[in-house]
Structure 1
Amino acid sequence: MALPGARARSWAAAARMAQRRRHAQGAGESPSLAPRSQRAALYVHWPYCEKRCCYCNFNKYIPRGVEEAAMRSCLVTEAQTLLRLSGVRRVESVFFGGGTPSLASPRTVAAVLEAVAQATCLPADSEVTLEVNPTSAPGSRLAAFGAAGVNRLSIGLQSLDDTELRLLGRTHSASNALRTLAEARHLFPGRVSVDLMLGLPAQQVGPWLGQLRELLRHCDDHISLYQLSLERGTTLFTQVQQNALPAPDPEIAAEMYQEGRAVLREAGFRQYEVSNFARNGALSTHNWTYWQCGQYLGVGPGAHGRFMPQGAGGYIREARIQTLEPDNWMKEVMLCGHGTRKRVPLGELELLEEVLAMGLRTDVGITHQHWQQFEPQLTLWDVFGASTEVKVLREQGFLLLDHRGLRCSWEGLAVLDSLLLILLPQLQEAWQQRTPSPVPGG
């Protein structure tokens, strides 16, 4: 596909100017003129990697060669098609994930962004994030991505211990990671996120906290803490099953998480989501869309999306999954304009369950106004106000239900999965018996 270079450069230049003007502010706080049904985030999946990490079961492939021009053309085509099918008029953020999207060329990133800007409103100050692996992103390449329109980086650092990095199958060293982080911060000040894993086999609390404190000496304003999940089919899962490695200790992992979040709070970070911490207002607006159950379009092999197709009258939200394997996905895109393999209409209760489970992941929780956008009749008070179980959780200090809405306390965020085992059945029961009060909170 031939990239309309001058137009793409003008959009990228406008985006960089907007980034310099933009003041740090909380995610979701800037108003949008477009109705909710016409706004969305866009996720773009680059499915290729240099090597498969030992713990990873994502949809990724290790190719002998990549026909990038064909992949670029199909990404552009599918983005255009899904934007048209969804009726989305404003894309508020774009996230290039994978795989290893930093292996793609900046030209591919620019082509997708320009196609989106031509098809809909892509404001110049929209958050455009690129996932980066340290070994695939020297400073000159990061600068080229910035020129293409990227204004935020998410670096898969994972560990600052070389032995742990080898265990995970990562291709970089701790020194590689810190060098890439320094270059990224120079090019994207205040707009760099890093991932740190916890709960690895044989990992101990003290050394891991030492890594976290070392990272605080080098990091920017956003950190994500992720607990290792042993996924069936991965090398790490097999090694643990065969006793070649000790199984991760869940109690040690829980202690790491609790100690880590305390260290980050002391360093001025706000835990705005179960796994995500930010200071100076550097929240991820793209991920905030997920947690607020906003619409998002998934483009690329295996990408997931949630939106209301116009053909359904704009009322039925669908969960969509694109075809997994890249070659088959490209054939379908060239034939049909998109590679959607699975479409699942979401019922009203299913959507409310998502609103509850995703919203409670954040420190804001679910406001009454937000809940009413999805369920105008049955209020949060109707669902949870008279519940004995919820009353106990409130008295124990895990949950708050008040004039603002429903949310977890600091202590509650750490045990959200356990809380949802109580709250989801409460919602299901209230839905079956729904007799909404005429007055909210009555």
Structure 2
Amino acid sequence: SPPHSITSVFFGGGTPSLASPHTVEALLEAVAGAAHLPTSAEVTLEANPSSAGTSHLAGFKAAGVNRLSIGVQSLDDAELRLLGREHTAAEARGAVEAARGLFPGRTSIDLLFGLPGQSCGAWAKGLEAALGFCDDHISLYQLTLERGTALAAQVWGGALHSPPQDLLADMYQTARTMLVAAGFRHYEVSNFARKGALSTHNLSYWRAEQYIGVGPGAHGRFVPWGEGGRSREARVQTLEPDAWMQEVQSQGHGTRRRVVLSPLEQMEEVLALGLRMDEGITTERWGHFSPHLSLQNVFGGPGEAKELQQQGWLVLDGRGLRCSREGLALLDSLLPGLLCQLQQ
């Protein structure tokens, strides 16, 4: 049986904006043919500034896209060259302004910090420039070096040096202070929104809702009711594009692996993802996955969670479990102990 209703569609990974608007339109028609796709559904497309001309974006809007996520990354041309990006700062600004004209209030930008040689002052200057023309959603990501890239080879070879951890922490805190002062809500570790412009699609991940991943390397989490399933599954699509297409043509799908998640595995995901949000894990959401063991039962007694509450990093009350403002910045170091407590 088809899902009752689709709340969001997200075209991401690679550079979807290189595709034809007709391709996106055909895909959305296929989604609408398989399930109810209301006009209110959020339909996001990731775009690079180099492939985000006004006429091209207008084509995507006509195809059914109603939200854009633009990979600005930096507003410094030297940093963009270091990252190997094809666009310039001026092109990034132009792409965002064009997108805002077509998708007002629904244009997000991505920015990177922690680049080799980057100072906190340079990062703050770039963010201030972005605040001068951005819309109502910003995602901030610490640079991750990827094997096989020229930048990774330079850093690992010692030619360039990544910022130390204390400087990375300063960059993050500086950004958070600036964005909150500009009216943004820090609603997830890496995401900020104002005027209610939260990403519906990404919230579905963090709230452990059901989602279907389609395309090379895509991941999904859902209960396959149509196949007679009754348990939440993790599904992973074949990574290599050519192999994925061959599998779809020969067997009707590109699913490489499917795993039925145990109740403990589901609770681990709820914990790790839910604590990324400022709202945390609500009592109601936890009860959906753990009807017989409440948050108070698991984290209310002596143990790691109690210590983190006493230190001011964690909050457990009638609403649920969440990080404090200070704890959210330290989530990666808090999670291992909390996961151990859950497993016990």
Q: TM-score range by the shorter chain?
A: over 0.9
Name the residue aligned to 1:274: 189
SS for the counterpart of 1:98 is coil
8 Å Cα contact 1:199-1:250 kept in structure 2:
no
Distance 1:425 1:325 in 2: 35
Q: Which runs of 5+ in 1 are unaligned?
A: 1-83, 430-442
User: Following TM superposition, by how much is the alpha carbon of 1:342 offset from its aligned partner in structure 2, in angstroms?
Assistant: 1.3
Q: Give per-residue Cα distances to partners, 1:214-263, cap 9 Å, x unaligned.
A: 10010000000100112333332221111121133222111100110011
Residues 201 and 249, structure 1, Cα contact 8 Å, conserved in 2: no
Deviation at 1:392, TM superposition (A): 2.1
Deviations 1:113-157 (A, max 9, x none): 111112211110100000000011100110110000000000000
Note the 1:172-211 alignment, pairs <5 A: 172-211=87-126
CA 110–245 in structure 1, closer or farther in 2 if over 3 Å, else same: same
- Equivalent pairs, count: 344
Aligned to 1:354: 269
| Aligned counterparts of 2:242 and 2:227: Cα–Cα separation in 1 | 29
C-alpha distance in 2 between matches for 1:323 and 1:402:
42
Corresponding residue number in structure 2 for 1:255: 170
Read off the aligned partner of 1:283 and give its amino acid letter. L
- Is the contact between residue 43 and residue 64 of structure 2 (CA under 8 Å) also seen in structure 1? yes
Alpha-carbon distance in structure 1 between the residues aligned to 2:81 and 2:225: 48
Q: Does 1:285 align with 2:200?
A: yes
The whole-number CA distance in structure 1 between the counterparts of 2:147 and 2:106 is: 34
Matched, 1:386 2:295: no
- 1:363-414 CA-to-partner distances (Å, cap 9, x unmatched) read 0001111100011000000001012432221122111000111001110100
Residue 420 of structure 1 corresponds to 335
| Equivalent position of 2:224 in the other structure | 309
Backbone CA RMSD of aligned residues: 1.2
Task: Write out aligned runs for 1:61-72 (5 A).
Answer: none
Structure 1 residue 366 corresponds to structure 2 residue 277: no
Secondary structure of 2:145 counterpart:
coil
Q: TM-score, normalised by structure 2?
A: 0.97
Listed as ranges, the gaps of 5+ residues in structure 2 are none
Q: CA deviation at 1:312?
A: 6.3
Deviation string for 1:86-124 (max 9, x for gaps)? Answer: x42311100001210000000011001111112211110
Deviation of 1:337 (Å): 1.1
| Percent of aligned pairs sharing the same letter | 63
The amino acid of 1:168's aligned partner reads L
Q: Superposed, which structure 2 residues align to 1:314-325 within 5 Å?
A: 314-325=229-240
- Are the equivalent residues in 2 in contact too, given 1:359–1:366 (CA < 8 A)? yes
User: Does structure 2 conserve the Cα–Cα contact (< 8 Å) formed by 1:102 and 1:132?
Assistant: yes
Residue 148 and residue 319 in structure 1: after superposition, are their counterparts in 2 closer, same or farther (change >3 A)?
Answer: same
Aligned to 2:146: 231
Larger relative contact order, structure 1 or 2 (CA cutoff 8 Å, min sep 6)? 1
Following TM superposition, by how much is the alpha carbon of 1:311 offset from its aligned partner in structure 2, in angstroms? 6.3
SS at match of 1:247: coil
The answer as to 2:40 corresponding to 1:132 is no
Structure 1 CA distance for aligned equivalents of residues 4 and 250 of structure 2: 25
Matched position secondary structure for 2:7:
strand
Aligned residue number for residue 159 of structure 2:
244
- 1:111 paired residue among 26, 31, 38: 26
Question: TM-score under structure 1 normalisation?
Answer: 0.76
